[in-house]
Structure 1
């Protein structure tokens, strides 16, 4: 094999690794390392000396680790055997990814599983040439960029479901609003995926979710929208009024199913002559049977609150107890409060559960 006088590799974006085709290197040869490259001298499968961009005259002085192994002759232009590997470190910024099958994401707010499709792009570069060569390349004389793209596309898709769900849950955000948060979701995904890349000496430069979509006519998406509408009704009219409204819905359905039509007619007219008491009795029976049976109505969940009073945490308290403390001037609108689900303590006046206490139409607490 001919002895080489110039060792170099013309960098391109198709290959990440190039093994120089000759192992016969002459002392005094030129080593050319272009910007965006690192050259590694390898002997017996072990990496020794490393060169970043620049032009070098190969001498025993500038490959000291390899010199210890093969005892390079001092001076002259004697040949020696070693492998030279070039690692391409330019940034690859247009790597596409996309879901083949929909991601099954449970909406943290409404507990409905919705199928989502997503696509985007990411960028990477070889951050640690030694680790990359040792852990991913091995003894392959070349390593195509597409191999890395294909491998990490699988890593991204396998972890994306958990990443999206965790971020939605962390921010208490519904799938219905997900497209307005793609920037924050992209940053979070990059943070979660970076360690998987670094394990192989690769740095993730960018990660972007370009679009997340769901079919408008998908049954799961329709159920999610219905759940949101029901939650909005409860918030507007209150839980007690909402339950009463549902009770009358049940009553109306029962009336429509009556064989003799008497109840349906009575409800349709609103008030009938001589049958008001009959309708009232039937209504009460229907309400008791269908909606007001204590065994069939789940209890309204209670919420525990904690207060910061004179620098100490006190509680738990129910909402009524908190209101009583405000009424007795034991706390003020600036008192800090916390309940499960809140990320941090907040002033009681800023909590929706107690804003009614500070309405201008309500009297202030009694003086002590």
Structure 2
């Protein structure tokens, strides 16, 4: 039984951008099936004529207006006609690898030394303008796959990528020793810069990723600047650690002092005296131990200290000073009787000065004067 109608549909794979159907002589009622994310273009005599989007179509001359005017002239309205059908796969095709074929030469912007790097990554492409892609790249070929497309774009892609990478590094002042931190930003910038180049051929560059930067490890110049770069950050980190340690030590010492002060305050409260009284007692003891306690200055300190100490502690301090005076007076008595009167007069003069300055009351002056008189009687 003769075949009445043909079915024309896409039979390529997902790695194909454009696929030409092998059937070229179409009978009337031939069915054209175009899937989602596809377009079909009819060509005649090397010209791209009608374009069909997703759907099912019955191919008749009246359904193909651009073709019908050619057919009417050549076939006298016969139902059979000769055409070519190209299917364009418009899905986004990912994981298309790219890589520089030679090193990118530029001046490192931070330390200003010449350096060479390589770069590689992946990209994803999608057929955007079916007519433009078919006319500019396919020609008379039956298929355009990823491999052929990348081969077509390789020369200008490598030229653009190397130039753009050097430009981005220079403009953004990206250090070669910190470049891995900027890979995402570099990828976004390169995507934006490369898009117009692909659009000229009806291709949309959907994504562009820089995944690897090949540094010149082992190069003496590179290694020297690498050591310098990381050394400066190590020094800064070490200085910060020392500073933090010093702060911790100071805070610990301050806390220790607070705890000791609180303990001493509790002790004084339990024993019934204040800090001022404790200091007065210490000073009084020092005065009492001083071999020169008989001098006027030490007497002034002793009596002044006693004036600020009250209660039981005041009595203790007063007795300590009095005993010290008595001991000093006894130890300092001369072996010669003729000196007694001179020492007595000097002591009376000191007591008088203390009375005049308000350090001694009249009653205290009289009592101490009487003690001095009694000591020489």
TM-score range, shorter chain: 0.5 to 0.7
Q: Relative to 1, partners in 2 of residues 1:156 and 1:219: Cα closer, same or farther, differing over 3 Å? A: farther
Alpha-carbon distance, 1:109 to partner: 3.0
| Counterpart residue number, 1:219 | 220
| Counterpart residue number, 1:111 | 112
Normalising by structure 1, report the TM-score: 0.57
Quote the Cα distance in structure 2 between the aligned partners of 1:31 and 1:107.
58
Deviations 1:177-205 (A, max 9, x none): 11100001001111111122111111111
Q: Relative to 1, partners in 2 of residues 1:190 and 1:205: Cα closer, same or farther, differing over 3 Å? A: same
CA contact (8 A) 1:17 1:144 kept: yes
Alpha-carbon distance, 1:88 to partner: 1.9
Quote the Cα distance in structure 1 between the aligned partners of 2:99 and 2:124.
14
| Counterpart residue number, 1:87 | 88
CA contact (8 A) 1:105 1:165 kept: yes
Aligned residue-pair number: 231
Q: Which runs of 4+ in 1 moved over 6 A?
A: 229-232
CA contact (8 A) 1:72 1:80 kept: no
Q: Relative to 1, partners in 2 of residues 1:143 and 1:3: Cα closer, same or farther, differing over 3 Å? A: farther
Structure label with greater radius of gyration:
2
| Counterpart residue number, 1:328 | none
Alpha-carbon distance, 1:106 to partner: 1.7
Alpha-carbon distance, 1:98 to partner: 2.2
- Secondary structure of residue in 1 paired with 2:10: coil
CA contact (8 A) 2:105 2:166 kept: no
| Counterpart residue number, 2:149 | 148
| Counterpart residue number, 1:45 | 46
CA contact (8 A) 2:40 2:88 kept: yes
| Counterpart residue number, 2:202 | 201
- Secondary structure of residue in 1 paired with 2:212: strand
Which runs of 5 or more residues in structure 1 are unaligned? 233-368
Alpha-carbon distance, 1:155 to partner: 3.0
Quote the Cα distance in structure 2 between the aligned partners of 1:72 and 1:24.
17
| Counterpart residue number, 2:72 | 71
Alpha-carbon distance, 1:223 to partner: 4.7
CA contact (8 A) 1:112 1:223 kept: no
Deviations 1:104-127 (A, max 9, x none): 232123221112122210010111
Quote the Cα distance in structure 2 between the aligned partners of 1:218 and 1:151.
34
- Secondary structure of residue in 1 paired with 2:6: strand
Alpha-carbon distance, 1:77 to partner: 8.2
Asked if 1:138 is matched to 2:139, the reply is: yes
CA contact (8 A) 2:9 2:33 kept: yes
Q: Relative to 1, partners in 2 of residues 1:48 and 1:100: Cα closer, same or farther, differing over 3 Å? A: closer
| Counterpart residue number, 1:24 | 25
Q: Which deviates more, 61-70 or 113-122?
A: 61-70
Q: Which deviates more, 37-46 or 64-73?
A: 64-73
Normalising by structure 2, report the TM-score: 0.56
Alpha-carbon distance, 1:211 to partner: 1.9
Quote the Cα distance in structure 2 between the aligned partners of 1:222 and 1:70.
73
Q: Relative to 1, partners in 2 of residues 1:11 and 1:72: Cα closer, same or farther, differing over 3 Å? A: farther
Quote the Cα distance in structure 2 between the aligned partners of 1:28 and 1:186.
50
| Counterpart residue number, 2:57 | 56
Deviations 1:77-113 (A, max 9, x none): 8211211111222221011122343322321232211
| Superposition RMSD in Å | 2.9
Q: Which has the higher helix share?
A: 2
CA contact (8 A) 2:107 2:113 kept: yes
